[in-house]
Structure 1
Amino acid sequence: MTYLQISAVGKSFTRGAASTEVLRDINLHIDKGEFVSIIGHSGCGKSTLLNLVAGLTEVSTGGIVLENAEVHKPGPDRAVVFQNHSLLPWLTVYENVNLAVAKVFGRTKSAAERHEWIMDNLNLVQMAHARDKRPNEISGGMKQRVGIARALAMEPKILLLDEPFGALDALTRAHLQDQMMEIHARLGNTMIMITHDVDEAVLLSDRIVMMTNGPAATIGEVLDVPLERPRKRLDLAGDRTYLKCREAVLKFLYERHRFVEAA
């Protein structure tokens, strides 16, 4: 049975007398435990689609159903990790994660259980050693690890990632990509990630959703990535399946870019 069902979803924004259709007729099903990436040119509504799934924005038409429950507002069953880590600067690493844990499990876990759960998630992203540091005392990559720990600590049904590594240097980005694959393998989370990076999409994903250009963007193609897990980036560098998937995404994006230029 489909875990997440996005059916005939459209989204328009109105400002005064002007209305802009951002998304049109989005249809997508995602199974439990899948890692799905959404890719497309700037302005194609990728982040808008993610916000609709998160419940941060209401759909204009159609509907979104997660495990037989309609999505119409934010909830702890959907955790978002943004490109900006969004940590509170006056709180420590531990306290930032505790915000989410106290909100979700304040009535169901004891203080000792909540503490253990916070440390489990900090250990998962290798940040337990920095539990007492504040955001201005750690690197950008470390901040994103804390943001991921905070999201995972909510035990969400779906983890939503909005270009989580986009602001990081290449080496840090690669390390976090590898760590995200390890987390996905260990926990079996359902993950949806927005990205501009073709290699990142192919490396991490089970499927890649390719969006047409906006306005009124929709899903152009969905590409299966039939690469066995676990995946190691160095082993995939010359892998024919990896290269074929990469070529298919690049071709789609190039054709869309050429279409825009011609218009």
Structure 2
Amino acid sequence: MMSDSKYIEIFNVAQSFKTAKGIFPALRDINLNIAKGEFVALIGHSGCGKSTLLNLVAGLTVPSAGTLIAANKEIAGPGPDRAMVFQNHSLLPWMTCEGNIMLAVERVFGKLETREQLRARTAAALELVGLSHAAHKRPGEISGGMKQRVGIARALSMEPKVLLMDEPFGALDALTRAKLQDELLAIVAQTHSTVIMVTHDVDEAVLLSDKIVMLTNGPAATIGEVLSVELPRPRNRIELAEDNHYQQYRKAVIDFLYTRQGHVEKAA
């Protein structure tokens, strides 16, 4: 029987790519367990394989070695149990917000539910991210932050067991990013989704996560340290700004990135 501490299991995973200069080893010896309902941040310098690892969990690529398991089943390809949110919202510009979400809903539930039920799912997803009023607008008619919320709604509309996020707020201004981080905290509290998110932002990682997975510099990157963030939920960014535990977690991540793994940045 599967333990909640092993909802996602990653065993001895390595990933290499063929290039014009030969084989490039992106990841090596990745071993990680993620619990059901856990929020995990992947952090590290550019080129450390964060997105590569996320794509492996998504089933978009196959590992060169090792095994990935989700809910006791080997990950052999993409599936509706895992939904991805990219830094680029990837919305179809000629379709409305509602239409973009409806595409995902139809793909997952189209053979099981009536048209009315599919529309209800779409409406519920838009309501979850506070965009019911923008249902009939096209991506070109809404802000960058709203587009990203539609992307999140599209992923959540599929009722995934695992939500995968590749720097979803990286291209947004600081105020919009903070607002969406707070909204994501509220959404995850409601949906109880298991979340794996790639980020470069130390404060974002500490604010959102239950566990921060810190990767060493590439090539052949691996997990250097795993930090459990034992801050009570719900979390309030204003209150945490003065919290000693929050500051200690933040310092631990910064120490890993810029003291223990900082030589690459200094040489750049």
The bucket for the TM-score relative to the shorter chain is over 0.9
- 12, 18, 22: which is aligned to 1:14? 18
Structure 2 distance, partners of 1:88, 1:39, is: 29
CA contact (8 A) 1:227 1:242 kept: yes
1:108 CA displacement: 1.1
CA contact (8 A) 1:78 1:160 kept: yes
- 245, 248, 252: which is aligned to 2:249? 245
- 134, 141, 146: which is aligned to 1:137? 141
CA contact (8 A) 2:81 2:162 kept: yes
Structure 2 distance, partners of 1:35, 1:141, is: 21
The within-5 A match list for 1:28-107 is: 28-107=32-111
What is the TM-score of this pair, normalised by structure 2?
Answer: 0.96
Query: Could you list the runs of 5+ residues in structure 2 that have no partner in the other structure?
Result: none
Q: In the alignment, what sits opposite 1:116?
A: 120
Q: Does 1:148 align with 2:152?
A: yes
2:163 alignment partner, SS class: strand
The within-5 A match list for 1:132-211 is: 132-211=136-215
Q: In the alignment, what sits opposite 2:235?
A: 231
Structure 1 distance, partners of 2:60, 2:35, is: 22
What is the total number of aligned residue pairs between the two structures? 263
Structure 1 distance, partners of 2:40, 2:95, is: 32
Q: Deviations over 1:159-185 (max 9, x none)?
A: 000000000001100000000000011
Structure 2 distance, partners of 1:35, 1:257, is: 24
What is the TM-score of this pair, normalised by structure 1?
Answer: 0.98
CA contact (8 A) 2:216 2:261 kept: no
Structure 1 distance, partners of 2:216, 2:19, is: 24
Distance 1:101 1:17, change over 3 A: same
CA contact (8 A) 1:213 1:256 kept: no
- 220, 226, 239: which is aligned to 1:222? 226
CA contact (8 A) 1:45 1:214 kept: yes
Structure 2 distance, partners of 1:193, 1:64, is: 17
Identify which range, 249-258 or 187-196, moves more after superposition.
249-258
1:51 alignment partner, SS class: helix
Structure 2 distance, partners of 1:44, 1:161, is: 16
Give the letter for the 2:58 counterpart. Answer: A
1:151 alignment partner, SS class: helix
1:249 alignment partner, SS class: helix
Runs of 4+ in structure 1 deviating by more than 4 angstroms, as ranges, are: none
In angstroms, what is the RMSD of aligned CA positions? 1.2
1:193 alignment partner, SS class: strand
1:258 CA displacement: 3.3
Query: Could you list the runs of 5+ residues in structure 1 that have no partner in the other structure?
Result: none
